[in-house]
Amino acid sequence: MALVLNEEQALLKETAEQFFQEKVPVANFRKLRDSKDENGYDTAVWREIANLGFAGIMVPEQYGGTDFGPVGLGLVLEQAGRTLAATPLISTVLLAGSAIQHGGTSAQRQKYLPLIASGEIVMALALEEGAHHNPCAIATKAEAAGDNFKITGKKVFVLDGHVADVLIVAARTSGGPKDTSGITLFLVDTKNTDGLKITRTHMADHRNAAIVEFDGVSVPAANVLGSVDGGWDVLEPALDIGRIGIAAETLGLIQQVFETTVDYLKERKQFGKVIGSFQALQHRAAELFCEVELCRSVVLEALSAVEERRNDVPKLASLAKARLAEASRLITNEGLQMHGGIGMTDEYDVGLFMKRARVAAATLGDANFHRNRYAELDDY
């Protein structure tokens, strides 16, 4: 129930803050973007992140992780959000890592978790098929053929899809197009796989995403993650962890934009005085302050709920994801406006934060999706 960090967590936060500020500043992200880096993330930085134990933060010690827990991972993501650090943390650690840990056979855990913890593997969740997050609306088909399944269909917005070594693919093995039952998850190797086509897409936030097409891709039955037709039981909790993780990243992002904006209000002079002395701007800044404080509370509570394995994780995941999506829209819009013309320039960071905020908001469900879900979970 703690909404206050303990000593260990406070120390981790400090380590993460120092690391991202010094080693992965926004300049690092700009370099990736401007050089049209093939990987879309800094592999050297990713190795360092793994060496610090951040990649194995939710992986049990027996698989080479640090088992520091979700609150710890949230702290790392928050700091990453402050500097726009592009890493496979969400795709590989949050989504794939938690799916394998909770749904994997012991052989699958043995195989993948140590590789995740050491940062030696990148994994991606191939889930979405349309313009909006709709996790059970799956048309991609998997048909049993002897000891194999044959997958046919098309996935979009696959985070880190073009750099992934292994995909987790959600396909329909039975049921109608919107049923939660009948979904099966498959581990699919991206190397030397016939019928698999991966195309990198370029999003406004300059982070990695891809279209993945399956044309009768053959996958052995041993690669099913969880049970046949029962993939939803593995998928949904993993999605919630991903959603909370993105909320934590966004918490870092909004704080950075807010603080930068308040600093600017204290510097910029017009009409012979700093613009921060104008009440019209003061009140707007105070409103943003309230939003940041509310966001901090919901993210911390959601992370604690995961850590304590509470049954209100789904509701808190939706609360955090929806709130951070709305708050990040407000704060990046207001931040840009208060910066005036300079906020519109590519040279200034606020625009980069705005673009990232929108993509993060749309990832794993936007505010509309999560408000609807929050109400459904409470049965109204």
Q: At 345, which helix (H) or strand (E)?
A: none
Q: Which residues ranging from 204 to 233 are in contact with other proteins (CB under 8 A)?
A: none
Contact 275, 349 (CB under 8 A): no
Alpha-carbon span 254 to 17, nearest angstrom:
15
- What is the C-alpha to C-alpha distance for residues 363 and 158, in angstroms, rounded to an integer? 10
Query: Is residue 252 left, alpha or beta, with left meaning phi > 0 and alpha meaning psi from -120 to 50?
Result: alpha
Is residue 279 near other proteins by the rule CB under 8 A? yes
Of 14, 61, 287, 346, the one binding other proteins (CB under 8 A) is: 287
Residue with smaller CB distance to other proteins, 33 or 323: 323
H-assigned helices in the chain:
7-23, 26-34, 43-51, 70-82, 98-103, 106-117, 232-267, 279-307, 313-339, 350-362, 367-377
Q: What does residue 155 show for φ and ψ, rounded to 5 degrees?
A: -115, 145
Answer yes or no whether residue 248 interacts with other proteins by CB under 8 A.
no
* Interaction between residue 329 and other proteins (CB under 8 A): no
Number of residues binding to other proteins, judged by CB under 8 A: 38
Buried b (16+ CB within 10 A) or exposed e, 263-276: ebbeeeeeeeeebb
Task: Count how many residues are written for the chain.
Answer: 380
Residue 300 in the binding site for other proteins (CB under 8 A): yes
Q: Which of residues 255-274 bind other proteins (CB under 8 A)?
A: 262, 265-266, 273-274
- Select the span of 22-30, 50-58, 126-134, 315-323 touching other proteins (CB under 8 A): 315-323
Question: Which residue, 215 or 312, is less far from other proteins as judged by CB?
Answer: 312
Instruction: Report d(CA 91, CA 244) in Å as an integer.
Output: 13
Among 22, 38, 147, 379, binds other proteins (CB under 8 A): 379
Rule CB under 8 A: is residue 372 a binding residue for other proteins? yes
Cβ atoms of 111 and 98 closer than 8 Å: no
Measured from the CB of residue 339, what is the shortest distance to other proteins in angstroms?
15
We find the least distance from the C-beta atom of residue 290 to other proteins, in angstroms, to be: 4
Window 39-58: contact mask with other proteins (x via CB under 8 A): --------------------
Q: Which residues bind other proteins (CB under 8 A)?
A: 2-4, 262, 265-266, 273-274, 276-277, 279, 281-283, 285-287, 289-290, 293-298, 300-301, 319, 322-323, 371-372, 374-376, 378-380
